[in-house]
Structure 1
Amino acid sequence: MTTAPTAPAGPVTTTARPDRPARAPRQLRWLLRLHRPAVLAWTAFVLVAGAALLWLGGPLTDASAAAWKDYNACAFSERCSYDQDAIVRYKDVYTYTTSAVLVAPFLVAAWAGGSLTGRELESGTARLAWTQGVTPARWLAGRLALPAVLVAASTGLLVWLHRLAWTAGEGRIDTAKPWDDAATFYANGTVPVALALAGLCLGALEGLLLRRSLAALTTAAVVLGGLWATVHTALPHLWPTVTVVSSLRNGPSGAGIAVGEGVLTSGGDRLSAPCSSGMIPGCRTELADLGATGFYRDVHPVAHYWPLQLTASAVLLVVAALLALTAFRVLRLRTAGPAGKGGPA
């Protein structure tokens, strides 16, 4: 009895539909390979800054706190011995690491404008991707999604480490920056993370608009600086203030972020203060002429730290979303061709 020969077993192959998102892993590998130098440079930046912050919050804080303890113990002695180098070293490293946290969003914006979209459009790499079954919208989404996750995670890590380092020195180091110091205020909160995401979307948009890497790099960094300045100016007004009233003898008082101050009259009016204390004879006369009954100061106390941070971050995230939507809109308009994709830019 004979049987019909059977075909040899072999691998079963299937043809993937071109519109199926199976190309995503290949796009991811291509994105990482294309921007490998930037990824390595950013990783090195985060590692170095993170190591410096760990050093700051550990050995440097302990050494500086011990030096300040020795200094305060012998402040009224003729012969005083304390480690001045430890105090100076802590101050310098704190300044450098704080600057690193605050400059991170600008690095992201410059890279996004100069390399992420600007250079790819300038060199034609983007058009090559569009001719290989990747729609322009998916191309842009791939260039925003993964960097957004990496940027948010790494910038958030630096902010967290900075806050740990600052908290370690709070109350132990006499020259430690207060919470309302501008640089410390931002580096300890969520604003740098939101600003970095806004910088990513802003840089991508500038790259699409200018299609020149150097021009997009510069413009993105400058515009992001303007955005931060705007948020900084508006931030004290994003949350209701607390009014602290003090006597004419003591002058204005109230610790925190001051928003406004002046004098109160018997009729309840608020006027600009002509001077700062009723203890000064000339000032006492001016205050009496105004009918002033006390000083007032509108401030944000330390309890307002997180409301201010989160509100400002929310505003920046909304701006980032609008920038991303605008980038997709610009890309769609510039790539609208006969086939609906990959048309003339």
Structure 2
Amino acid sequence: MTTLTAAAPAPRVHLTRWLLRLHRPALYVWAGLVLALAALLLVLHGPLTDAAADAWRRYDACTDWQRCRYDQNAIVRYKDWYNYATLAAAAVPFLVAAWAGGLFGRELESGTARLAWTQSSTPVRWLAFRLAVPAAAVAAGTALLVWLHHLAWTAGNGRIDTAKQWYDVWTFHTNGPTLVALALCGLAAGALTGLLSRRTLPALGLGLVLTGAVWTGLQLLLPRLWPTRTSTGEAFDALPNSSWTVWESPRGTVPAGDYHPASHYWPLQLTSTALLLAVTALLTLGCFLALRRLTGKTTAR
């Protein structure tokens, strides 16, 4: 009995190794993408931010514009590379959705999945490992990018006049755990569309569309995920630049508005992350229900 108990985890270990070997090219591409973006964010955090901050310091100190000298190229270079790095990180959930949709759609279209169900594992175990192993890699890599992006943004905040505010749509997500949750949501969305369509290209496209729909819905709900503050009259005109105004009174009326101060950053991050994880859980449940419909009672084994 002791021997049987010790040997029980072996199939899981074997299946994990098999998955890693099977998807080694995708793993290499993912690692290369993460390392390239990490290197860019480190350079952005250090030399690019320091050069741009020094240029802005010289610019703000100028009194004689005929003799004013500052490195305008450093300012433009920081802005460009910050945008490149931010948009590349924000694209990760969509890349994951496309990959997952293509993967599941191809394996069902080619019959590889059914062959695995009859030879190596049950459908439920096959799906569980197909989701768990990529999810671990996606979560780890995306979390690293989020941490480095937040460091880079923090280094420029308050030092560079044109630095993005915390509520900028791309900066907000790449600066916090919402990007990790959205990447996991993209993985589940791609898997679901692959199981439903059972074809490579349609699953790839539908995975992108579904992830985009989730992202759009989050943008619409985000300002309402945490109670706003209201300011009127002179107090509204004196709001700091770091405040995110989500509603303003019409022109010609008393100035008033609802806004999120900078202190609402983490409450908004955590509530949006929780919402995305709930959607991810529903999509994952949908994957298993779709698998059960596809295979019938074999999923119960």
TM-score (norm 2): 0.92
Alpha carbons 1:159, 1:187 under 8 Å: kept:
yes
Q: Alpha-carbon deviation of 1:91? A: 0.8
| Pairing 1:335–2:295 present | yes
Could you tell me which runs of 5 or more consecutive residues in structure 1 were left unpaired when the two chains were aligned: 1-13, 263-272, 276-286, 288-293
159, 171, 186: which one aligns with 2:158: 171
Residue 295 of structure 1: aligned partner: 255
- Which structure carries more helix by proportion? 2
Q: Deviations over 1:54-86 (max 9, x none)?
A: 000001111111122222233533122222221
Alpha carbons 2:101, 2:200 under 8 Å: kept:
yes
Query: 2: CA distance between counterparts of 1:308 and 1:72?
Result: 33
254, 279, 282: which one aligns with 2:239: 254
284, 289, 301: which one aligns with 1:324: 284
Matches within 5 A, 1:18-57: 20-57=8-45
Alpha carbons 2:236, 2:257 under 8 Å: kept:
no
Q: Deviations over 1:253-286 (max 9, x none)?
A: 5352222232xxxxxxxxxx343xxxxxxxxxxx
- Aligned AA for 1:243? T
Residue 60 of structure 2: aligned partner: 72
Query: 2: CA distance between counterparts of 1:84 and 1:78?
Result: 15
Change (3 A) 1:60 1:200: same
Residue 73 of structure 2: aligned partner: 85
Please tell me whether Structure 1 or Structure 2 has the larger radius of gyration of its CA atoms: 1
- 3-state secondary structure, aligned to 1:180: coil
Alpha carbons 1:130, 1:136 under 8 Å: kept:
yes
- Aligned AA for 2:288? F
Could you tell me which runs of 5 or more consecutive residues in structure 2 were left unpaired when the two chains were aligned: none
Change (3 A) 1:83 1:135: same
Alpha carbons 2:166, 2:172 under 8 Å: kept:
yes
Say which structure, 1 or 2, has more relative contact order (CA 8 Å, 6+ apart).
Answer: 2
Alpha carbons 2:291, 2:299 under 8 Å: kept:
no
Residue 115 of structure 2: aligned partner: 128
Alpha carbons 1:109, 1:199 under 8 Å: kept:
yes
| Pairing 1:309–2:269 present | yes
Q: Alpha-carbon deviation of 1:300? A: 0.8
Q: Alpha-carbon deviation of 1:125? A: 1.4
TM-score (norm 1): 0.81
- 3-state secondary structure, aligned to 1:131: helix
Residue 181 of structure 2: aligned partner: 194
Q: Alpha-carbon deviation of 1:140? A: 0.3
- 3-state secondary structure, aligned to 2:296: coil
109, 117, 121: which one aligns with 2:97: 109
Alpha carbons 2:178, 2:269 under 8 Å: kept:
yes
Query: 1: CA distance between counterparts of 2:238 and 2:132?
Result: 48
Query: 2: CA distance between counterparts of 1:119 and 1:219?
Result: 14
Instruction: Give the RMSD, CA atoms, in angstroms.
Output: 2.1
- 3-state secondary structure, aligned to 1:309: helix
Query: 1: CA distance between counterparts of 2:55 and 2:245?
Result: 32
